[in-house]
Amino acid sequence: MKVIIQKKIILDENPDCPLFIPYKRDCKYLQNLLGDQLYIELDKIPNEDLEKNIHASPKLVYMKLRNCLKPVIFCSLPADFNDKKSMYLGKKVTDIISKFHYNKFYYIPFEDILQRSDDSYTCKFIEGIFYGLYTFSKYKKEGKERKLTELYTITENTNITDFFNNKFSELQILFKYLNLARDLTNEPSNIINPESFSLFIKNNSQKNVNIDIWDEKQIENKKLNLIAAVGKGSPNKQKFIIMTYKGEPAESGYICLIGKGVTFDTGGTNLKPTGSIETMKSDMAGAAISYALINLIAEMQLKINLTVLLPLVENIIGTNSYKPGDIYTSYSGKNVEILNTDAEGRLILADSLSYGIKNGASIIIDIATLTGAIVVTFGSFCAGYFTNSELLSEVFSKCIDKTKEDFFRLPLIEDYRERIKGKNADLQNVANQRREAGAIIAAIFLEEFVDGKPWIHLDIAGPAYLEEEHPLYGSGGTAYGFRSLYEFVISTYGIINKN
């Protein structure tokens, strides 16, 4: 997308190009930007039409200017307008632009209308545009890609000009990788399995990212027995991928990020019922996000040391599938009894967490579509997180406040720890009280493998893949948490350096 910055609109230029105006009556500055003729025509809009737009819902109208019809998208700005509404508005405007087959438009920045000196509304508006441009239609013969080739910004605000000159390119790169994570999550499991995903990562990563891919024999030899167990039943054999980026070679501290990579989850021997199994191609969303994130950081050459661990498995029924009652010795040395094969994500994460801790991670993060219980708690549009560190919680809270992704913290209730103590082994992978606190029980299980290191667990099972249309993320794979995780990795690496 090319950005052209102008101080005033020239009506004779691009007569078919829509003009998006966040409208405010009696705004003399707006009159200066638009010119008298257009401003007078806008002022003729009936009050009731503006009142219908109190929720910042854009409306396309055609105005007769200089004997031709000019497409104008207008909306009034509610008194409680904020960053999040600005982002949603970007998506809505993009939907209108795409519906009427325009590929460029004029934009009057909110900051100009509201006489603000920052650029936060424009930044969020552009993020909303990027969300609105995403499509996944590669398997549709008549699928059309949404394109926005030019954005004409009408402003005299130097802060907005600085945003487009300095920050806009970073946003473009960020959404390139966010959309890559969405694409991978949307791919069917006959395309993305542990083997093909590994090859994709090997062939589509930044050159300054070191990649080590372990096959099933290496996984067994390294005693990652929980990962080996989950993948036993599939002909698409398990992989364990170690991706390393050293943006500060002289520093020894690093962040370890783990992404759950179950490329399809039938539930294993504890087979999922119809209604729960259809979208399980998305059970590798955490791995897709983690893979995309390290490549984003590497392309931007940030001074960060980051290791990404990707346990990739298919959890399906086969002649060699693991079963309820089986006991395996984890990488940490703790023995785990399997009570439910559909609680597989915590098993592959447990070995990965132990591996990250043993190899010197300063801070450890995991992101996973882990539990249906988190969806019961928060629904499809929100995610949960757990941490053993108040400092990490404080930092993450600031990150989600910036990105406007909805995450809420849940507690690691100590009294529930007894529920995962096994009768026949050190631990069992689910509690006997099956309907209680499922997301908390899963997080407590994971905490058994972090050895007291600062750790945060993001359970994105609800919003990672949406069947219901979301006003910002649409449907399908969303890469939910990608932007917050990006901010969090940058912020927490700063903590490592200070300590």
Q: Report residue 351 as tokens.
A: 């070995």
Catalytic pick among 346, 404, 419, 483: 346
- Residue 54: pLDDT band (50, 70, 90) is very low
Per-residue pLDDT of 295-320, as tens digits, reads: 999 999 999 999 999 999 999 999 99
Closest by CA position to 42, among listed 23, 17, 67, 15: 23
Percent of the chain with pLDDT over 70: 94
Flag the least confident range among 56-70, 134-148, 413-427. 56-70
The answer to whether residue 392 scores a pLDDT higher than 50 is yes
Q: Please say whether the beta carbons of 37 and 96 come within 8 A.
A: no
Predicted confidence at residue 41, as pLDDT, reads 73
CATH superfamily placement of domain 2-159: Leucine Aminopeptidase, subunit E, domain 1 (3.40.220.10)
pLDDT at 499: 59
How would you class 423 by CB atoms within 10 Å of its CB: exposed for 0-12, middle for 13-18, buried for 19 or more?
A: exposed
Closest among 284, 314, 278 to 185, alpha carbons compared: 284
Q: Over range 47-52, report the average pLDDT.
A: 54
The per-residue pLDDT for 13 is: 77
Set 59, 246, 272, 417: catalytic member: 272
Query: Could you report the per-residue pLDDT of 110-134, keeping only the tens digit for each?
Result: 998 888 889 999 999 999 999 999 9
- How many helices (H) and strands (E) are present in the chain, helices listed first? 17, 20
Note whether 211 and 243 are within 8 A (CB): yes
Residue 26: what pLDDT? 63
pLDDT digits (tens, 9 = 90+) for 1-46: 999 999 887 766 777 899 998 876 666 667 677 777 777 777 776 6
In which band, very low, low, confident or very high, does the pLDDT at 279 lie, cut at 50, 70 and 90?
very high
Say whether 346 is catalytic: yes
Q: What integer is the mean pLDDT of 270-299?
A: 97
User: What pLDDT does residue 171 have?
Assistant: 97
- Beta-carbon contacts of 308 under 8 Å, excluding residues fewer than 6 positions away, are 241, 242, 243, 244, 256, 257, 258, 259, 290, 291, 293, 294
Alpha-carbon distance 453 to 280, whole Å?
31
The residues, ordered by sequence, that sit 6+ positions from 414 with a Cβ below 8 Å of its Cβ are none
Higher pLDDT, 316 or 66: 316
Tell me, yes or no, if 64 is annotated catalytic.
no
Contact 181, 292 (CB under 8 A): yes
Selection from 22, 26, 127, 29 nearest residue 76 by Cα: 22
pLDDT of 55 over the 60 cut: no
Which run of H or of E encompasses 76?
strand 68-76
In the block, residue with structure tokens 């993320």: 473
Q: What is the pLDDT of residues 455-490, one digit of tens each?
A: 999 999 999 999 999 999 999 999 999 999 999 999
Is 321 within 8 Å of 238 (Cβ atoms)? no
Question: HSE of 430 in the Cβ direction (CA atoms, 13 Å)?
Answer: 20
Q: How far is CA 18 from CA 61, 86, 91, 125, 328, in A?
A: 10, 19, 16, 16, 62
State the Cα–Cα distance between residues 496 and 402, nearest whole angstrom.
21
Q: How many CB atoms lie within 10 A of CB 448?
A: 20
Confidence at residue 50, expressed as pLDDT on a 0 to 100 scale: 52
What sign results for the dihedral spanned by CA atoms 180, 291, 90, 52?
Answer: positive
**Residue 53: pLDDT over 60:** no
State the pLDDT at residue 52: 54
Q: How many other β-carbons are positioned within 10 Å of the β-carbon of residue 280?
A: 21
Establish whether domains 2-159 and 181-498 are of one fold.
no
Q: Is the CATH number 3.60.15.10 carried by domain 181-498?
A: no
Cβ neighbours of residue 188 closer than 8 Å, sequence gap 6 or more: 281
Number of C-beta neighbours around residue 300 at 10 A: 15
- Range 64-68, long-range pairs (CB < 8 A, 24+ positions): 65/11, 65/37, 65/38, 65/41, 66/11, 66/12, 66/37, 68/15
Token pair for 55: 């929720």
The one-letter amino acid code at 499 reads N
CA 491/CA 255 separation, integer angstroms: 11
Domains of the chain: which residue ranges? 2-159, 181-498
DSSP string, 379-425: -TT-EEEEES-HHHHHHHHHHHHHH---EEE----GGGGGGGB-SSS
80-96 tens-digit pLDDT: 899 999 999 999 999 99
d(CA 329, CA 446): 15
Lowest mean pLDDT among 153-162, 197-206, 289-298, 391-400: 153-162
**Is 38 or 205 the better-scoring residue by pLDDT?**
205
Cα dist. 249→68, 212, 257 in Å? 62, 18, 18
For residue 214, what is the enclosing H or E element? Answer: strand 210-214
